[in-house]
Amino acid sequence: MSSKVLLLDVVGLTADALRHMPRLSHLARAGARAELGTVLPAVTCSVQSSVLTGRMPSSHGIVGNGWYFRELGDVLLWRQHNRLVEGEKLWETARRRRGGDYTSANLGWWYAMGATTDLTVTPRPIYHADGRKSPDFYARPPALHDELRHELGEFPLFQYWGPTASIRSTQWIVDATRRVLDRPGAPDLTMAYLPHLDYDHQRFGPDSPEGRRAAVELDAAMAPLLDQAEAQDVTVVALAEYGIARADRPVDVNRALRREGLLEVYVQDGREQLDPWTSRAFAVADHQVAHVYVADPADEARVAAILRDLPGVDEVLDREAQARYGLDHARSGELVAVAEPGAWFTYYFWLDDDRAPEYARGVDIHRKPGYDPAELFFDPADRLAKAKAAGNLARKALGLRYAMSTVPLDPSCVRGTHGRLPDSAADTPLLLASDPRFLDGAGDRVHATDVRDLVLHWQGLGASATSDPHERIRA
């Protein structure tokens, strides 16, 4: 039994995707396979945090990919500091139990900044004083940055997200992971994030030809890493936070609240901006889940009724209902809306596209007060969108400022989504292990909060079940 573990987050991995992945299928046949019971919301940051802490969002506090920071008065998505995650992480527990000689590496899992892993690699753009953004990554120890950049080139940031997202970013992470495994004294735990299926499964749908081709591409990119792990006797554990389901119905939850006089905006340079400070209610949309923040408790019943009447909304959770899903944290909205199958929530709050904020037409994940899958597209209504993007890249190469205004404001192009708990086997995420003994006694379904203790048990550092059942609510 190897005590070293390679923990792969293979985003969007489902049984349907696995059918087009021969190398990973071979690993599953020779090893072990189970469904992964995910958490609500089934989004990257929440599920990763549950995997690494063994806790539900109500305990670790990561209630989505972002939320309304009440103490700041701002909606912030895709923050990076590890201290946002409450609770002891997998490698910290292992290090404590082993007495300090346990080593770990994180390549791309979220909340990497300030984490106590021994090696860290995570995308970190350079934001220049003149407004330009250049690709780069953060690495710890610092010498690892120059080592990886020399061997692999710059991290392909513009292929990591946005309309040009492609296999290049995942390939870079795979190659970096292989080099970490090759270093003297390879880590006891190496974590790598492989996002490729996210792109075309959201663009075209998981059952599309493009979605199937993405699975083939990802499998080919992973194969050398899986072969290396096998040769080095490293146990591979591959999981997905969610499966992507077919989608065709965007739901404008913030526009509904605005039309009811609950959401307010302010204007700068002729463009509207969300005003969370004065709004009586607004939503932080995150795929199929929206945290709805209600300033006055007296408005909650009215807001809940508006949400329930909105086509495309399946459930509206108050604090008591949130507790049933393990989502009742102080960071959560007073209400949480869950979309119907096939529907998803936009963040849009303007009623006239001519008044949309400047960031709406760009790839701007940190300024938008909600998730925007339309960032994966060039605007189909603008025949010159790609040419404009190329021109802007030329300006960037010359050191000139530029604005990528290429993202559509019509979200009907989006064909895949996630966030609600799975409705069928087709959108249920998987957990695979290269050694059949890894899942001994675990059955054919493993909850996300149990993965941490399964790894600890495999490495001889703990039991195979979560010790406190109150920290886990099964999906």
Q: Give the list of residues 6+ apart from residue 164 with CB closer than 8 angstroms, or none.
A: 158, 389
Pairwise CA distance, residues 130 & 334, whole Å: 39
- Cβ-in-10-Å burial (0-12, 13-18, 19+) of 146 comes to exposed
Q: Strands, DSSP E only, in 103-234?
A: 104-107, 119-123, 126-127, 133-134, 137-140, 189-194
Residue 430 phi/psi, 5-degree rounding, is: -115, 160
**Is the separation of the CB atoms in 455 and 64 below 8 Å?**
no
- Provide the pLDDT for residue 26: 98
Separation of first and last alpha carbons in the chain? 31
What tokens appear for 306 in the block? 């508006």
- Provide the pLDDT for residue 473: 44
Pairwise CA distance, residues 294 & 273, whole Å: 18
Beta-carbon neighbour count of residue 231 at 10 Å? 9
Pairwise CA distance, residues 134 & 138, whole Å: 13
Chain-centroid distance of CA 447 in Å reads 18
Per-residue pLDDT of the chain (475 residues; tens, 9 = 90+): 568 999 999 999 999 999 999 999 999 999 999 999 999 999 999 999 999 999 999 999 999 999 999 999 999 999 999 999 999 999 999 999 998 899 999 999 999 999 999 999 999 999 888 878 899 999 999 999 999 999 999 999 999 999 999 999 999 999 999 999 999 989 999 999 999 999 999 999 999 999 999 999 999 999 999 999 999 999 999 999 999 999 999 999 999 999 999 999 999 999 999 999 999 999 999 999 999 999 999 999 999 999 999 999 999 999 999 999 999 999 999 999 999 999 999 999 999 999 999 999 999 999 999 999 999 999 988 765 665 554 455 455 545 454 567 999 999 999 999 999 999 999 999 999 999 999 998 999 999 999 999 999 999 998 544 444 434 444 4
**Is the separation of the CB atoms in 305 and 299 below 8 Å?**
no
Per-residue three-class SS string for 23-92: HHHHHHHHCEEEEEECCCCCCHHHHHHHHHHCCCHHHHCCCCCEEEECCCCEEEECCCEHHHCCCCCHHH
Question: Which amino acid is it at 303?
Answer: V
Residue 203: its H or E element: helix 197-204
- Provide the pLDDT for residue 398: 46
